[in-house]
Amino acid sequence: MLRAELLGRQAQRESAARTYARTIPVAPVTALGAEVTGADGRTYLDCLSGAGTLALGHNHPAVVTALQEALASGVPLHTLDMITPQKDSFSAELLGRLPGTLRDRAKLHFCSPAGTDAVEAALKLARHATGRTGVIAFTGAYHGMTLGASSVSGPDRMRGAAAQAQPVTRLPYPYGYRCPFGIGGEDGAGLSARLLESFLTDPGSGVAAPAAVILEVVQGEGGVIPGPDSWLREIRRITAAHGVLLIVDEVQTGIGRTGHYWACERAGVTPDILVTSKAVGGGLPLALIAYRPDLDTWLPGDHTGTFRGNTLAMIAGEITLRTVGERQLAERAEKLGARLRSGLRELARDFPQIGDVRGRGLMIGAELVDAGAGPDALGARPGAPEFARAVQAACLDRGLILELGGRGGTVLRLLPPLVLTDAQADTVLDRIADALAAAVS
Ligand code: PMP
């Protein structure tokens, strides 16, 4: 089938809200590892990997074999939230890999299968367990598209009608490159935490005692912005001191992506409620929350949903969890990420349009700026959204799939599978260099 024909026909059928189909007009047909072959017969390097879902890449042989064997053995595909051998062994594997005091102790709640569903469950549990309703979230955050989750997400267009879903107070996220306080580095980040403390201690702040603080350790959709360890530790200290629950959304950062099994482990911080989805299902839809056992105040039926804990997703997820641990893929992500970031920083010498290169592990961002415009007090230049779109399109022309994110869509985002090879990483850099040269000319 011709690619243009297929893409055109589907564009007629689908809602105008479709996104990837517009910016990445590829019709994937087959895929293996970090490569995807489209209906056009071209093979692309995939630095999107199902929005970070495919930690082991496409069609990892261990995942495929386990799924084929399960199907051949006649396992029931769906059993609501009944207990199955697959759920038992997935849960044991996950519990043994949770961070800090959650390890082997946490309560698990399997949610409806998307990240946003798990965020929703975390918010509801926090309200239920504390009897309070308010939530503190961060500017630029992305937690999903359902009402509760989008009410704690950042950009205005995501809040919209969701703004009223619950009382939300927003703190500035420690975005070092464009620090909201005009102070770079750890000092600026420290102010974000101090502001939280003043909200919670000063009765005049107008912030009613919240149920929870929700955050991403590295903001993903918000532009690949790592929160400094000192900031995260401060937030942990302050929330614990005030009896406010800390919800850490590891939907994108979890399962080795950032160079640690969980991003919060780098700072030695354990949340009260950890939210996970994407890679936890090994490429199939699965989402859950893991939380302090004493928070389990729900009664049977308090938070249900038909599609909780899909059997095949647990099989694929268990293999992914184990393989990432046993093959030390978090360490690999750290090394490969450092290589990609240093390559991008070298490119920034030739292309001043690369304003900032950042990230952790294989969660990488390059913020594209207007090189001709004057810098602000911290040295940042205005973002260049059109240029970023041109670079993304030029990358696709050269066989590289990547995404844009960040405030204003000016950040090139790379989320390759953790099994990307060194040679493929070099090809990624070559293609970005060519794409930048084409977009500049
Ligand atoms: N939280 C974070 C940190 C995410 O990155 C995302 C998705 N990009 C979500 C929640 C929502 O997940 P989903 O798209 O599966 O609903």
Give the pLDDT score at 2: 56
pLDDT at 155 over 70: no
Give the pLDDT score at 204: 81
Contact yes or no for 159/142 (Cβ under 8 A): no
Percent of the chain scoring above 70 in pLDDT:
97
Average pLDDT over residues 235-250: 97
Q: Which protein residues touch ligand 1 with a CB less than 6 Å away?
A: 51, 114-116, 119, 142-144, 216, 220-221, 249, 251-252, 277
Give the pLDDT score at 410: 98
Distance 294 CA to ligand 1 centre (A): 26
Backbone phi and psi for residue 120, each to the nearest 5 degrees, phi listed first = -60, -45
Contact yes or no for 143/114 (Cβ under 8 A): no
pLDDT at 198 over 80: yes
Q: Which amino acid is at 242?
A: H
Q: Which amino acid is at 95?
A: L
Give 212's strand partners: 135, 245
Residue 267 tokens, joined? 């700072």
147-160 residues labelled b (16+ CB within 10 A) or e (exposed): bbbbbbbbbeebbe
Q: Of 192-196, 333-337, 422-426, give the lowest mean pLDDT range.
A: 192-196
Give the pLDDT score at 156: 61
pLDDT at 3 over 80: no
Contact yes or no for 115/275 (Cβ under 8 A): yes
Contact yes or no for 148/165 (Cβ under 8 A): yes
Contact yes or no for 174/228 (Cβ under 8 A): yes
Helix H or strand E segment including 172: none
Task: Round the average pLDDT of the chain to a whole number and report it.
Answer: 94
- Residue 305: which region, alpha, beta or left (left: phi > 0; alpha: psi -120 to 50)? left
Average pLDDT over residues 240-245: 97
Helix, strand, coil % in the chain, rounded to nearest 5: 45, 15, 40
Distance 252 CA to ligand 1 centre (A): 7
Distance 435 CA to ligand 1 centre (A): 28
* pLDDT band at residue 115 using 50, 70 and 90 as cut-offs: very high
Give the pLDDT score at 159: 56
How many angstroms separate the first and last alpha carbons of the chain? 34
Distance 114 CA to ligand 1 centre (A): 7
pLDDT at 328 over 60: yes
- Give pLDDT tens digits for 332-350: 999 999 999 999 999 999 9
Minimum-distance ligand 1 atom for the alpha carbon of 117: 16
Average pLDDT over residues 24-28: 91
Give the pLDDT score at 203: 77
Q: Of 77-86, 120-129, 149-158, give the lowest mean pLDDT range.
A: 149-158
Give the pLDDT score at 20: 87
Long-range contacts of 377-383 (CB under 8 A, 24+ apart): 377/182, 378/177, 378/178, 378/179, 378/182, 378/184, 380/177, 380/178, 380/355, 380/356, 381/355, 383/355, 383/407, 383/408, 383/410
Distance 115 CA to ligand 1 centre (A): 5
Average pLDDT over residues 132-147: 94
Minimum-distance ligand 1 atom for the alpha carbon of 277: 15
CA diameter of the chain? 65
Contact yes or no for 51/257 (Cβ under 8 A): no
Q: Of 6-10, 156-160, 177-181, 328-332, give the lowest mean pLDDT range.
A: 156-160
Best residue for ligand 1 mutational test, from 158, 214, 221, 251 (most atoms within 8 Å of Cβ): 251
Contact yes or no for 274/80 (Cβ under 8 A): no
* Closest C-alpha to 102, from 275, 250, 272, 296: 272
Residue tagged 């990230």 (tokens): 359
231 contact partners, CB below 8 Å, separation of at least 6? 174, 186, 189, 190, 192, 193
Average pLDDT over residues 51-56: 97
Give 168's strand partners: 135
Tallying the residues shown for the chain, one arrives at 441
Minimum-distance ligand 1 atom for the alpha carbon of 287: 15
Contact yes or no for 152/168 (Cβ under 8 A): yes
- Give pLDDT tens digits for 77-102: 999 999 999 999 999 999 999 999 99
Q: pTM of the predicted model, to two decimals? A: 0.97
* pLDDT band at residue 208 using 50, 70 and 90 as cut-offs: confident
Average pLDDT over residues 115-122: 98
- Give pLDDT tens digits for 170-192: 999 999 899 877 777 777 888 88
- Measured distance CA(404)–CA(427) in Å, rounded: 19
- Measured distance CA(108)–CA(105) in Å, rounded: 9
* Closest C-alpha to 440, from 400, 397, 390: 390
Give me the helices (H) in 242-368, please. Answer: 311-326, 329-350
* pLDDT band at residue 161 using 50, 70 and 90 as cut-offs: low
Give the pLDDT score at 37: 97
Minimum-distance ligand 1 atom for the alpha carbon of 145: 16
Measured CA to CA in angstroms, residue 400 lies from 200, 271, 363, 380, 436 at distances of 46, 36, 16, 27, 13
Residue 198 tokens, joined? 């003043």
pLDDT at 69 over 90: yes
Q: For the sheet containing 354-360, what is the strand order?
A: 354-360, 363-368, 411-414, 403-405
* pLDDT band at residue 160 using 50, 70 and 90 as cut-offs: low
Average pLDDT over residues 132-156: 91
pLDDT at 298 over 70: yes
Minimum-distance ligand 1 atom for the alpha carbon of 221: 5
pLDDT at 11 over 90: no
Give the pLDDT score at 146: 92
- Give pLDDT tens digits for 344-393: 999 999 999 999 999 999 999 999 999 999 998 888 999 999 999 999 99
ipTM of the complex, rounded to two decimals: 0.99
Helix H or strand E segment including 354: strand 354-360
Give the pLDDT score at 359: 98
Which domains does the chain carry?
3-59+328-440 (3.90.1150.10), 75-326 (3.40.640.10)
Distance 1 CA to ligand 1 centre (A): 32
